[in-house]
Structure 1
């Protein structure tokens, strides 16, 4: 530690506590400077020698958006490793590259907006690739590991400062800034909060980012949960950074506040400390802060609190130390170790879903590689630029020899003829000879989409034959023979100018729409049709503008090419999946689990020509695929720079597959609830509650070895259950097994999960070797959230502990009886009933009781909804009921026998949704009964009480 010069102010003195230093610096700032610190782009304060600062550096699976960097597998792929140690090491590598890149470019930030901690509740969520798992515990374990890596292991100073995304209950892109997630208390505490809590309590989290959506009718950016429970989980200061544009959404799209000053003040008081709004222009945010101060909506103490939290993070990063802190020279970048780690992570993320003796491939096999992703190394919105890469085709040719590997992409091909009889033609141009790749196979990062230095598409001659890929739902990309995709730049002209789909709004996708005896070609990025006129080929000037009606002349079908290649091979590898920028990404949810029809045709053609066909799915999310005829199926997320090498090594048997599914693969769209149904319990979502037969279950993954589970022991020892068993590699190759421990309550008093993951262990064993695996499960881990008590309760009774290779592949079972707190009736006379603390509901959603805190309930269709509160204890007797309601309609109460005992209705509509009327009515009841409540009309019920 280098001491500050004697004349330096206290905030420069590394010998002082961070809290003292932060307070000192904050006290030296003017009100205007403090207001400026609240924007994402914090200006320098030259008079104090304080540099500019930026919150927010994307680094989900490598440093993103700042140029070339080591690219690791997508987060869902890291989740498939089930390996916290590996994920921690990836975090370490990413944070070291952050430091190295910042040394070259001060725009690179150290406040890292990663990882994403939202459990993958629904597989159609467009951002599925960004999360780790559908299980909250596994998500939390892996998030804690990644943040520990990002933070570094110094006891005081942090290599980077991770911020968890997206707080809270965020699993939809559809209407994401206006939709409200209706989350009952049990789901909130047992699922959504649990994923965040473990990561925060692990001590390596600098903050969180609220999500765009509302929870129970209240925007996340004014959520009371930012204070309690979030800030009760740690003694460290947490920096809460808004999502981009979300502060303005509070007024502009959500209409939750009348003015931006009210919205900003409410967010700041709720716990938001940094506002990401209006890009790099901080003037609007600063103006709103100062105006809110002038209107008395904020005090300077509110600003001090937020600024001090930010300064706490900057101090932990070593920014104000004379030597920049111990990590200032930790500058490893693209090292051999990082490259090896990227390959290790990619290998461990490959999941073998099915194998009927086809894999591993024979050493001298002649392999046909088929598919639209076979020669692709895809990146996503949060990827860095690839320094190097290996596609599946390149990996297989490197492993088996180029002469033994034949490639058939399988793209359909067509030419487009205008109504005048001309053909679309891509003119030749210097620099347009195809994607530029270096010796490692990496794409030139300078090659941007939508270039305007290339000539536009024109008409004439015999026309250009385009390779057409249908990504599902009729979404097409069209590729010219030189490898460039058709794209539309800001000038509206169509050019073959893009190496790949990309950008916030993808400009490389089109749809052919039947029109008369031809087709319109609609550009999806602008929503406009392609026109052909005297000024060239471009999109129409208006959304409803007339488009050219093209005749489509198909010159080749991809399945014919696939069949020819498959017929002459010993084995076929069909590589299928998605492009992370198309049909499922940030801002766009998927509509179906089905594999795109184009890719299903290629698979069927390959199987018909050669039954020894392997399906290698490379995708950001699960699919529902007909796999009964496919002898071998693998899945991996997009695996970063080493994806192709990893897949080839697994196929060849150089490594035994050890990935495990981090989420359930459902067999059909009909197995899924509506995307916006957040009630896991009622709608039986995720492996916890799903009662159907999955295509592949949570935790599933095969190996090239067989593992034997034996000698299970489970017993209570003190405040924990000690579970141990032996695990033996009974196969002929060294391999890793992921042993999984689940639990289920045998006779619960409330609906509990069918089984729930408690712990797991990844064991690497040589053939014939045995390991003893032990877990100590703290008894509180068996508790559930008791809505009657508004806290966790460990229920006494029998619990079955299940050990196996997946949630459905259970090898050993043991039942343990634990002591716990017995169930008790609701003490409704003493405590009353908060309306949202129901046991069951039908046709009801939870909404905000006030704009600041609390929940209420309201009918979904504004006509009728029902609530059930079990085992309500009315004691020796009550004579009346009191309810708090707003709006208009009625509340009907009945006891368990169904007879109506009370009906209450406001005399007229209340002044507003947050203006509650207190109504009373006679109600005679005694003893313990279930209580049913029916709501009629656009009414909010907040609370019920009972009088003697």
Structure 2
């Protein structure tokens, strides 16, 4: 007799709603099993047939870290396209490749940690390449398009599950895990939250990842905004995945909690569902959760809430319904979704649309018969960044121009300095030959040989001989340099400490291919930046000292080392050719020179390292000057992850593109040749000088007059700027206010001679605001293609809420009545049409302070203060910066028929609170008699204060007091 088939458990029944299936599965899991799910690498539950699950797969501009994949332009380049339809198609391609790659390698995850929606507030941020724009609406539009592509269009099952990075107000690498962004309520709501909110509300987001930094004194991994704001924006279960190592940072570097059990419990209660910590080892996170449960810091219900959100994502990805999953891919069908002709064409199209023409005095497009000199350190490079996949195809600017114009009309000079390093013994550093040749570094399709990596130790170390090897030296700025052998391999230091020519490119979490030349006596010491140790010459090869740093550099001739056998070598730098000399030769013989300059994404401006200046490195400035001196027809092409301050006025043409992925060179050549009219637009302001920049840690875009929204200086190139080989006229602006919307329409005509794209931008400005408002604010945009002579009429429907601001007096959004300018044009500064509409709204009302008092953080203006956490769990307080003195201003406070007393809620060791009205004298001074037990132990102080009617309230803060609230009585 055949045994009866056991009934299908409800969680396996595809006819049931996901919520019921999750309920059923939760009821079958033990507490230990659920606790195991909280780590990034959740184990399998074999008794239920549940597979292991890993949160996290990097997919910022292609599937990363999992081998060969289609590599699209960097995210900031994707932002420069201003094209949501294109970006959605890129997201679709990336998600299809993720599915195809997973079919062949189950390490590839479907919970993708992308896109990054942090706003590009400060252009010196090392991770500028990861964001889309300094503007929250443009960022949200591009992010929404990308997540929709990643998610797919099926109403039930998702192709991949995107997680937005990095929550919240994260725009610095300097002290990134200990610094706090002071973010006033208006900036929080109008700027930093907006990009996340509008993307989440669009419905294609699976969750978010908190950032390493603190906001208002509280680590983002215990942010109350996760539950109070994020999860209020959608009815979907949103998964919150920690950043790598951040849970441990709560104790180890931030010292915010005393124990890891407290920290883990706080993060879980705040809304973190998956802990990315200690790599694949889940034991420590599991132990911390169990400890927190044992200590009563957590309940099983807290664990259940997190696991439920994880399972919700897994069900949406089709894990429990493989036979119904429309996105399922097998190993046999994987090729249909991977490195397809369509994906290659899309990579090229995206790279073309990302190119921004910043200036053109008529030298572009290049004349068909022109002799072109291509020069510069990036002219024959196709750079990858930390979040790139492995290239299957590649094209450099030089290769693209060879292909487009023919090698006989294109000359090349990289512009590196050719040097030999001479030892004190009179010998020179020598690179021994190996079996690898330059042609072996890449296959027929340009794929990088995975064996040619920095950690390779089977190649011979450097040695010394009488003639040595001529090395290519590039100074990338800040004194950081790379050295390259004649066959193209970079000098690198492996774990055994020996120098080898073993790297195809600088790269890795710790870059092992960078050095510093430090003056010492009559020569230089060579310090390896990855280890911080000096290079010395040993009998068995050239290596770095076994410990270090080994010596202080100075002009003194003596050298002390960690041991007598590891004395740092004092090298003489023998220059055999200066880079500018080679540039001068080829530039003088050409009709036009294309200087390709920019950055290496792994050096001086990357994750963990902010830039220190907007200027190009001196080496590249020298090459640019040499090219211009030899040939005035010099085109500067910047290939970079961020803006630069360059002397554009002396150049006839300037272009910018982010590192453009596998098709970068072909795309750039097609734009230079005029095959494609450029139509990329700047997604952030390009400032003219470092002096225009705010402090890196000043997150107050309103008070600091930051980004195009508030900047009052003259930018080098404004937000939204980009030129074309065509010209466009704007006409027939019409506006209408009705039905809770503002309707705007106008025509755009291509008045040029070539088919081209135009990026139409619509801005607004409050003409009579009662509070500081943006100089202009992007409300809508559209990228359109028009042939010569063609006209298109564009229409935009804007909700009245688009014109509202965050009213700190009443802690909510408010549309202020009055006139608003509508500005249509080609950039934030190139306005072609304007009109004024008058909107009905809610008039300003005084603050009802007599009834409600004042939250200290709801100030209208301040100086010398910062926002800190009121408690570890929730709330804000205000304190003077560094224990000094600060001022707070609250406008139009209504004391009604009168008050007779004031109270302040404060914590801290010492200081005073001074109360004044309007511009008058101090009326009350309050100071605690003794320090409070801790920074979160508040006391209420009272004093007499007589006031009636409406006044501006001014509060002076001195010392280390935290002010949380001000109340009134009488």
2:847 paired with 1:826? yes
Question: After superposition, where does 1:881-896 map in structure 2 within 5 Å?
Answer: 881-887=902-908, 888-896=910-918
Distance 1:750 1:544 in 2: 54
State the secondary structure of the residue aligned to 2:882: coil
| Aligned match for 2:807, one of 771, 786, 797 | 786
Aligned-residue offset at 1:439: 2.7
2:390 paired with 1:417? no
Distance 1:863 1:383 in 2: 45
State the secondary structure of the residue aligned to 1:681: coil
Distance 1:432 1:538 in 2: 23
Q: Deviations over 1:307-365 (max 9, x none)?
A: 11000000000000141611103841100000000000000000000000000011111
Question: After superposition, where does 1:489-568 map in structure 2 within 5 Å?
Answer: 489-545=494-550, 546=561, 547-568=568-589
Q: Deviations over 1:205-252 (max 9, x none)?
A: 000000000000000000100001100100100000000000000000
Higher mean displacement: 711-720 or 274-283: 711-720
CA contact (8 A) 1:714 1:721 kept: yes
Q: Which runs of 5+ in 2 are unaligned?
A: 551-560, 562-567
Residues 1:435 and 1:177: Cα distance change in structure 2 (over 3 Å): farther
Higher mean displacement: 80-89 or 522-531: 522-531
Distance 1:442 1:387 in 2: 4
State the secondary structure of the residue aligned to 1:700: coil
2:111 paired with 1:89? no
The count of residues paired between Structure 1 and Structure 2 equals 944
Q: Deviations over 1:154-213 (max 9, x none)?
A: 011100000000000000000000000000000000000000011100100000000000
Matched residue, 1:290: 290
Distance 2:831 2:548 in 1: 56
Distance 2:432 2:438 in 1: 11
Matched residue, 1:408: 413
2:487 paired with 1:466? no
Matched residue, 1:338: 343
Matched residue, 2:932: 910
Distance 1:44 1:561 in 2: 61
2:419 paired with 1:397? no
CA contact (8 A) 1:239 1:309 kept: yes
Aligned-residue offset at 1:556: 0.6
State the secondary structure of the residue aligned to 1:205: coil
Q: Deviations over 1:491-525 (max 9, x none)?
A: 11111111100100000001111111111111111
State the secondary structure of the residue aligned to 2:55: strand
2:262 paired with 1:262? yes
Question: After superposition, where does 1:693-842 map in structure 2 within 5 Å?
Answer: 693-842=714-863
CA contact (8 A) 2:183 2:215 kept: yes
Higher mean displacement: 6-15 or 118-127: 6-15
Aligned-residue offset at 1:434: 6.0
Aligned-residue offset at 1:435: 5.7
CA contact (8 A) 1:435 1:484 kept: no
Matched residue, 2:214: 214
Matched residue, 1:187: 187
Q: Deviations over 1:546-603 (max 9, x none)?
A: 3221111111100110011011111111100000000111000000000111111111
Matched residue, 2:943: 921
State the secondary structure of the residue aligned to 1:427: coil
CA contact (8 A) 1:782 1:794 kept: yes
Matched residue, 1:235: 235
Matched residue, 1:637: 658
Higher mean displacement: 141-150 or 5-14: 5-14
Moved over 6 A (4+): none
Distance 1:164 1:98 in 2: 17
| Aligned match for 1:383, one of 385, 388, 391 | 388
State the secondary structure of the residue aligned to 1:680: coil
State the secondary structure of the residue aligned to 2:517: strand
Distance 2:438 2:716 in 1: 43
State the secondary structure of the residue aligned to 1:200: helix
CA contact (8 A) 1:910 1:917 kept: yes
State the secondary structure of the residue aligned to 1:682: coil
Aligned-residue offset at 1:861: 2.4
Aligned-residue offset at 1:432: 5.2
| Aligned match for 1:856, one of 858, 873, 877 | 877
CA contact (8 A) 1:435 1:499 kept: no
Matched residue, 1:204: 204
Aligned-residue offset at 1:431: 2.1
2:320 paired with 1:320? yes
CA contact (8 A) 2:391 2:446 kept: no
Matched residue, 1:111: 111
Distance 2:443 2:820 in 1: 58
Matched residue, 1:477: 482
2:390 paired with 1:369? no
Matched residue, 2:553: none
2:65 paired with 1:60? no
Distance 1:171 1:6 in 2: 55
Higher mean displacement: 46-55 or 444-453: 444-453
CA contact (8 A) 1:743 1:799 kept: yes
Matched residue, 1:946: 968
CA contact (8 A) 2:864 2:884 kept: no
CA contact (8 A) 2:374 2:411 kept: yes
Instruction: Give the TM-score, by structure 1 length.
Output: 0.99
Matched residue, 1:686: 707
CA contact (8 A) 1:875 1:927 kept: yes
CA contact (8 A) 2:133 2:139 kept: yes
Aligned-residue offset at 1:527: 1.0
Distance 2:193 2:675 in 1: 40
Matched residue, 2:554: none
State the secondary structure of the residue aligned to 2:367: coil
State the secondary structure of the residue aligned to 2:453: coil
| Aligned match for 1:867, one of 888, 908, 915 | 888
State the secondary structure of the residue aligned to 2:702: helix
CA RMSD between the two structures: 1.0
Instruction: Give the TM-score, by structure 2 length.
Output: 0.97
